[in-house]
Amino acid sequence: MSGKVAFVTGGASGIGAALATKLVDGGAEVWIADRQIGPAQDLAQRLNRGGTKAHAIELDVRSYPSFERAVAEAVGQSGRIDYLFNNAGILVDREVDSYTLDDWNDVFDVNLRGVVHGIQAVYPIMIGQHSGHIVNTASIAGLATGAAPASYTATKHAVVGISKSLRIEAERHGVQVSVLCPGMVSTPMVLTERHRGMAPGPIERFLETSKPERFAERALLAVLRGDAIIVLPTWWKAFWYLERFSPVLSMLVAKAMLKQKRRMQSTAA
């Protein structure tokens, strides 16, 4: 990716920060776009110590005008955008019986409309360049039934669908589209929302072996290959294959996972 320009949303932490770091390591110029401009600036400063180009830019993906302004600034300074990583995402980890309408809207605005805003802002630029690669972050929850919250699951299924359709459309413009479908990766979103207040257990110990840095390294290799659907760590594909083989059995497994999750939450309460 040497000499390429990448724009990463949600780039200040978690998977986004790991992607930005690996992109810089590979010689790319990176725009770290995040609603939290302070951490984005801190990361850009650390990455620039190696003499590379990393820029921090404030972006609220829920606002299309905000996305347009950020993209215009990036193109104005860097001249182009070769990679768009639509990575920003949130999780409201409650069951629907305790949701408010605001919960639904918050998740839809960031996880789905944020991706749409990125596509609308950057895709025309890539069409004009006759090149580019859009990488949307979904989740294994976008491919298989699981214990993930309904709002999160809905948006991630939508992101997978958008990515697959756009990949077919964009080919004639010389633009590639991929969708990242992480399994459980040790990110601030997972640790603070999913496991708030829980004592260390098997999931926490598993997360120690599933770091964003490792995920980003393997994900970028798959992006360079042009893979359409990227599931990492790879063993999470078992859930995707099970969903395709037997949706009924997949739902039974998801039911068992939800029961275990409820027990853990009850123990922590």
Catalytic residues: 152
Q: Would you call 241 exposed, middle or buried from its count of C-beta atoms within 10 A (0-12, 13-18, 19+)?
A: middle
Q: What is the DSSP letter of 132?
A: E
Q: How far apart are CA 120 and CA 69, in angstroms?
A: 13
Planar angle of CA 149, 155, 160, nearest 5 degrees:
120
The token pair at 12 is 């200040």
C-alpha dihedral sign at 217, 152, 146, 142: negative
The token pair at 79 is 């001249």
User: Is the preceding omega at residue 182 within 30 degrees of 0, hence cis?
Assistant: no
Q: What is the DSSP letter of 200?
A: P
